[in-house]
Structure 1
Amino acid sequence: MGFFKTDMKRLSSKTTKQKTSQQENQLKINLKENLAYIHETLGKSSDIVTREFRIGRQGHIQAAVLYTDGLTDTDAIHNFIMESLMLDIQGTALEQELSGQQDVLHTIQEVILTVGEIQEVSDWNQLYDDLLSGNAILLINGSSACLSLGTKKWKERGVTEPEAESVVRGPREGFSENLRVNTALVRRKINDRNLWLESKKIGKVTKTQLAIMYLKGIANEKIVGEVKSRLDRIDTDSVLESGMIEELIQDKTFTPFPTVYTTERPDVVAAQILEGRVAILLDGTPFVLITPASFVQFFQSPEDYSNRSDISTLIRLLRYMAFFLTLLAPSLYIAVTTFHQEMIPTPLLISLAAQREGVPFPAFIEAIVMEVTFEILREAGVRMPRAVGQAVSIVGALVLGTAAVDAGIVSAAMVIVVAITAISSFVLPNYSMATSIRLLRFPLMGLAASFGLFGISAGMTVLTLHLCSLRSFGVPYMVPFAPFIPSDQKDAVFRVPKWAMFTRPRLISQQNVEREKTPPPKPDPLSEE
């Protein structure tokens, strides 16, 4: 019996503590006490503006408006809140009725205020969240609740052309740092009631707004549930950029390949949502996460669907060729010149030998020196001011390459190989995939210097097995190649005509697979005559 008595005491003590905590979290009735508590807990921050006033001409009711300077529309506060409460009700029957009512807050909310977004708040946590996110807080003396008024407004960057994903033909608009602007840009592309948007706050300190967008009835419910589950498991103080979320929700951390697709183009997000994928938008960043991601997705550009299918297929094949050049060109040069000279034609071999006659380093050291030098120049061009960044990177590459050849440190052939490799990396439309290939180039160069073509073959085998083992939110990373899906080959390496792309990816959308029923074009009757 003693055990049960102890257990009941613990339960009673826990319930009492919860009630005490809830009472402490409730607003006070006295206006002065509430204002003093807010200023004390916020450290008397200078950007928290407080305006105390009395409602109506008689001034029987004391009130106060609080807002955060820089995050709030002050014109809306003056015109639709304070003017309505101080001037518009003067001399009206409503003023007399308001002074004798007990539920003043409810009457103000229902009858007087003309602000569109109004919410009654009675606890401190919600008050601070709304106040620091840009809402105005209306406190009334004698009421243990307050009104949170939607008056958010701040300076922001407008909709501009994305710099990282530029196209020759296609839309020029890109996402900004405002979440609501970004969701509106997607809504403009997909005007359908099945486009669902679910919002939540993430980060215990930053409380950053996050939105999930998907097409109900097209997106796989299991994938949507998995995305929500992984986001709910995030327990961190701050989330300032979508890259932080990408690291926390991706399937496999120890891989150089990106398993979550990122973009700053609304047309790309709309196209991916229409295929059945889920978009994750975060306030404060123009980069949107798209899940699940596949390997072929990183070789697709929005321009592929603006041009004809034959032109798009040719350009896409060029991207795959650039991918292999970026990955294997230095390694193949090292392997052939070090171990397999018999594969080189005799005139070319004599020319390469003459170039390397005064070079004191092996081909591997040459390649490492030139690759590291180019990576330094690339990063310097990105970090420097735009006016001089490109000029410094181009002039630096020319001067260093020419000087290195004249000094006999590297051969001219190695400069050509490194230049082709560097230029090929810029052909890939996605920066994340291009960075991964730049990273993988160095271990393959080491294998080529140690074992020749056999080392390259072994490295590519391990790389292929690794790619086939990856998954993105349960979907195989190498789909539609592994597993091989014939119906999805229409938009993998080749891009078939639009009228032939009548189904969505099978493993992405398993509910509404059929995309369109456009018949193929009929032959020209004049040609038959």
Structure 2
Amino acid sequence: MITLFASIVSYIPGWAVFGQAGVALLVPLLLTLLYRSLYRLVGSGRGQIGYGSRTVRQTQPPAPAPSSMAGTAPFSGSYSKDLLAVQTAIGDNSDLHFREFTLANTGARAVLVHIDGMQNDRLLNMQIMQFLMYDLPEEPLSSAGIARRLLPFSELKEETAIEAFNKYILFGHGGLLIEGLPCGLLIEVPGAANRAIAEPVSEALLRGPRLGFSEVLSENTSMLRRQGLSDQLEMKSYRAGSTIEREIVIAYMKDIVNPDLLEEIKNRICKIDIDFVAESGYIEQLIEDNYLSPFQQLQNTERPDRVISALLEGRVAILLDGTPFVLIAPVTFSMLLQSPEDYYERWLPGTLLRLLRFGASFFALMAPALYISFISFHPGLIPTELAITIIKTRQGVPFPSLIEVLILEVSIEILREAGIRLPKPIGPAMGIVGGLIIGDAAVQAGIVSPFLVITVAVTAISSFSIPMYSAGITLRMLRFAGMLFASVLGMYGTILFFLLICCHLSKLKSFGVPYLTPLSPFRLSDWKDLFLRAPMALMKRRPLMMKTRQNKRKS
């Protein structure tokens, strides 16, 4: 392709001086200009605001919490009028129940309003309703008196605005309207069905806690509290979602975290403007530094022990109600290849496992591109006996090396995706059997060579060793780009592809922290937890990259 392009443009005056070398040198320049143009085209736009080197969309602060909701229509104190106003404003919802009754001894009319399934029905029926209908003492009717009597069952609070009262009910509270009271009483008796706490599926360990986050935010925050007794752990609550609100909690160690980092994360959270935050992945995409980068700039995890370890390094955790995946910010590339098990084992086995992961990630990214480079462009670099063996196995293969690799790689990706989507009892079996059948059938049919099957199998196995599933997806995606570079420019294209990735990673930042730290910028003290996992007795300082308030770990 380079020769054809050079022969076409050689008719341009002065171009023949450069020849193929000029075209080869022009390729990285054109790619760089294309990337920068695309970044400016997509990254720039109307109504944007910059965070240093970062550009994000201008958004509005999240909707306020129910406690700050202001309604324009207050309760009048007339039972019939207030009940009609609540029914009119809250709308016709099939899961909304109005249970009218009469208070004991006073004869005052009352109604209990609640959403089906979001309250503990047994507690409402057997204790609160029974107390109000039969056990209420004879005393002047007041909201303070009722709240004091119901305190053993539930905490009550007053709300004078109809609009805020309705929103509390739709958010899961129970509401009480009592004749003669110019306000509504809100009851919080949570009782929705929840998933049992289980071991994380995406981060399985042989040694470590068998505890994973759930979809309930209160349970997740309590898991962090139960990791150990500490008065330094702080949590701040926010709400996001203009149509459907969800609660977001930011967790950090107040005496460790960098205040500038904490303030930056809070600002980005407050500027989220979206109808509904369905999962923490929405937050990750809205607050990351560079959304054009294929590399993730926040780490997601289901493990409370990983979150606590990150908080003790000065990082910040972002928890969202309704998902077990917690975000950790900032993140570096080395964090994506580390596992909590590295620290639970002794330092020598932990170091060996980490080095294996780094090597496996390189093979998962570069092995197909190196195969194409050697087979199509540089067979002389292969040892003679091995080259003869590869040539014999490729006899009769009708496709060039790129098409040959694409056939197997696409087949493996389809099998991998199908294995995830299929039911668990048959998913893994289908992936293994399907891969064996397809590989053997492709070799027997002469479509691919046996040596390529080995290469693709090693690549797939290497990608399975990466602890973070999201990081594995990134390497799988970039693998195809590396194959295209190798098919055009050979080994030069493979090296150029690797250098472009290194240049991009050296420029990428996560909340102001360089992505390749401590490699670039170089910090020798942080190398104790990079490729090698130093003994615990030597890891006495927190990462310098985090610029924490307390640099020394307490022992």
Separation in 2 of the partners of 1:459 and 1:158? 46
Residue 97 of structure 1 aligns with which residue? 140
- Are 2:362 and 1:324 equivalent residues in the alignment? yes
How many residues are aligned here? Answer: 487
Q: Alignment partner for residue 427 of structure 1, among 465, 470, 476?
A: 465
C-alpha deviations, 1:140-192, integer Å up to 9, x for none? 22333211111111111011011110001110111111111111111011321
- Are 2:532 and 1:515 equivalent residues in the alignment? no
Please say if residues 31 and 140 of structure 1, whose CA atoms lie closer than 8 Å, have aligned partners that are also in contact. Answer: yes
Q: Alignment partner for residue 128 of structure 2, among 78, 81, 93?
A: 81
Separation in 2 of the partners of 1:312 and 1:25? 63
1:111 deviates by: 4.3
5 Å-filtered alignment, 1:31-430, equals: 31-59=79-107, 61-89=108-136, 92=137, 95-98=138-141, 104-430=142-468
User: Which stretch of the first structure deviates more once superposed, 127-136 or 322-331?
Assistant: 127-136
Q: Alignment partner for residue 473 of structure 1, among 511, 525, 528?
A: 511
Does the residue aligned with 1:507 lie in a helix, a strand or coil? Answer: helix
Does the residue aligned with 2:234 lie in a helix, a strand or coil? Answer: strand
Separation in 1 of the partners of 2:262 and 2:155? 29
Please say if residues 211 and 281 of structure 1, whose CA atoms lie closer than 8 Å, have aligned partners that are also in contact. Answer: yes
User: Which stretch of the first structure deviates more once superposed, 453-462 or 108-117?
Assistant: 108-117
C-alpha deviations, 1:353-382, integer Å up to 9, x for none? 111110011111101111011100000000
- Are 2:539 and 1:501 equivalent residues in the alignment? yes
Structure 2 residues not aligned, in runs of 5+: 1-68
Relative to 1, partners in 2 of residues 1:23 and 1:42: Cα closer, same or farther, differing over 3 Å? closer
Runs of 4+ residues deviating >4 angstroms: none
Relative to 1, partners in 2 of residues 1:495 and 1:213: Cα closer, same or farther, differing over 3 Å? same
C-alpha deviations, 1:192-218, integer Å up to 9, x for none? 111101112211222112111111010
Structure 1 residues not aligned, in runs of 5+: 1-20, 99-103, 518-529
1:350 deviates by: 1.2
Corresponding letter in the other structure for 2:73: N
1:112 deviates by: 4.8
1:310 deviates by: 0.5
Does the residue aligned with 1:452 lie in a helix, a strand or coil? Answer: helix
Percent sequence identity is: 41
Separation in 1 of the partners of 2:413 and 2:358? 22
TM-score scaled by structure 2?
0.85
Corresponding letter in the other structure for 2:77: I
Please say if residues 262 and 289 of structure 1, whose CA atoms lie closer than 8 Å, have aligned partners that are also in contact. Answer: yes
Corresponding letter in the other structure for 1:487: S
Please say if residues 70 and 164 of structure 2, whose CA atoms lie closer than 8 Å, have aligned partners that are also in contact. Answer: no
Separation in 2 of the partners of 1:424 and 1:387? 24
Residue 59 of structure 2 aligns with which residue? none
1:480 deviates by: 1.0
Does the residue aligned with 2:426 lie in a helix, a strand or coil? Answer: helix
Separation in 1 of the partners of 2:305 and 2:316? 14
C-alpha deviations, 1:195-252, integer Å up to 9, x for none? 1011122112221121111110101111111111001101111011100111001111
1:510 deviates by: 2.1
1:23 deviates by: 7.0
Separation in 2 of the partners of 1:400 and 1:62? 73
Please say if residues 505 and 515 of structure 2, whose CA atoms lie closer than 8 Å, have aligned partners that are also in contact. Answer: yes
Separation in 1 of the partners of 2:495 and 2:295? 19
